Amino acid sequence: MLIFGVFGLCGIPENILNALLKRNKLKDLEVVSDNGGTSHFGLGLLMKQKKIKKMYASFIGQNPIFEKSYLTGDMELELIPQGTLAEKLRCGGMGIPGFYTKTGVNTLVEEGGIPIKFGKDGDVEIYSMPKETRIIKNQKYLFEESIKGDYSFIKGWKGDTSGNIIFRKTARNFNLDAAGAGKVCIAEVEELVNPGELHPDHIHLPGIFVHKIFKGESYEKRIENLITKESREKSQNNEVKSLFKIIYTKESKIRNKIAKRAAKELKHGMYVNLGIGIPTIVADYLPEGMVIFFQSENGMLGVGPYPSLEQADPDLINPGKESVSEKRGCSYFKSSDSFGMIRGGHLNVTILGGIEVSQNGDLANWIIPGKMVKGMGGAMDLVAGGSKVVVTMRHVAKGKTKILEKCNLPLTGKGVVSKLITDMAVFEFNNGSGMKLTEIYEDVSLDQVKASTEAKFEIAHDLKTIKL
């Protein structure tokens, strides 16, 4: 088993990967990594050469080769919530055989039934098995075993010949947790110096965890989703000249409408996590002077806006693998610490996207069987973390309501939604015991909301009108 400490294309051991690609006889690998890079870079290149037999990951991401290899049976995939994966690696390196967690309780992670291997005909040949559970202080937890691999491959910024390593910005991610989880850890760095040349207080990974270290010959350090302040402003200001742009602009207005209302849930000084999609726009609508500490599960607290092209940094990305900037007072940390913040209830608010929400506050947002398999990423950890969970999504998609009596899709979490904000209305939930309509937009009628909602709901006696 090979363990790679990466997050997308950030912090990948490029030289080690290139060496593995050149070994023609290397095949049937079992690989642990948060995700599989892209089809043109990172671990996706190993998949392209069909060297990987099985992946352990939390997210497929923007890699069609990964998804196709999984769905056509060329490669097995064991999907693991991102925070659970980080903790599995941390525990593997610390000699801890396993741990109990709320992440995945009352979902297919606990119950079993997540497809691991498809046959050539599209039928599932192997499903995940149910997990052991235990009640601790009136709360159900499930048991997860730690991961210990044969080799771990990591990439640092600066290192010394004793194996001490300094990482840079969000390139810490899974690298520190992966280091100890391999029986042999091989590290590559951009700069290699003699012992004593690195300040002891600045070292993130002590050399005891590293068995071999070398300076990489060269680095591309690609940014998976390069979004700059200039490119975003240009896309927002483009003149509409085609049907596609008209459709895109209409969709963009709806997304911005939802994000603008969601921003009103935040208060000065809060610690907040923004999910992928509509939630990423929420930061654009904060009142001037309001300070919010945005937490990024790939290892950053104090996420800033999109950078200028000159400021874009391959070692500085958000969970969507987009280029971002630093806010004053920001900090960086490894993935297991990031999810420790989440699981420990240290966030005030989590804002996520959704595919379906039920009247009991159940959320489904990570898989559409037979159509879309992206993985749960960090969403299951975020909804189990104890913070207020706000879901943002379209009320209706392709003529069908997304707010149901019961979710049809596999759950991300059961009874976890605190508030739902759509392009028609706002609903509040009462600890899994029902939903209440509290606000509607000024251009939407109550009859329209009723006709577009399958779920049963109460109507607040002081129903408010949203004017944006």
Which of 67, 76, 297, 356 does the annotation list as catalytic?
A: 297
What are 410's two structure tokens?
Answer: 């596999």
By C-alpha distance, which of 32, 35, 81 is closest to 62?
A: 35
Rounded Cα distance, 274 and 351, in Å: 5
Determine contact, residues 148/101, Cβ cutoff 8 Å. Answer: no
What are 120's two structure tokens?
Answer: 């050539």
Q: Is 297 a catalytic residue?
A: yes
What are 257's two structure tokens?
Answer: 């409408």
What are 106's two structure tokens?
Answer: 């009352």
Angle of the 335-343 helix axis to the 82-94 helix axis, nearest 10: 120
Determine contact, residues 125/77, Cβ cutoff 8 Å. Answer: no
How long, in residues, is the chain?
468
- Other Cβ atoms closer than 10 A to 113: 14
Determine contact, residues 93/209, Cβ cutoff 8 Å. Answer: yes
By C-alpha distance, which of 92, 80, 24, 93 is closest to 54?
A: 80
Ranges assigned E (strand) in 111-217: 115-118, 124-127, 133-136, 139-145, 149-160, 165-166, 182-193, 212-215
CA atoms lying within 13 Å on the CB side of residue 143: 12
Determine contact, residues 160/198, Cβ cutoff 8 Å. Answer: yes
Rounded Cα distance, 36 and 74, in Å: 15
What are 249's two structure tokens?
Answer: 């602009």
CA atoms lying within 13 Å on the CB side of residue 216: 24
Rounded Cα distance, 133 and 139, in Å: 10
Q: In what order do the strands lie in the sheet with 98-101?
A: 98-101, 139-145, 133-136
Helix (H) or strand (E) holding 331: strand 326-332
DSSP-based three-state secondary structure for 238: coil
Q: Which residues lie closer than 8 Å to 233 by C-beta, 6 or more apart?
A: none
CA atoms lying within 13 Å on the CB side of residue 202: 13
Give the active site residues: 297
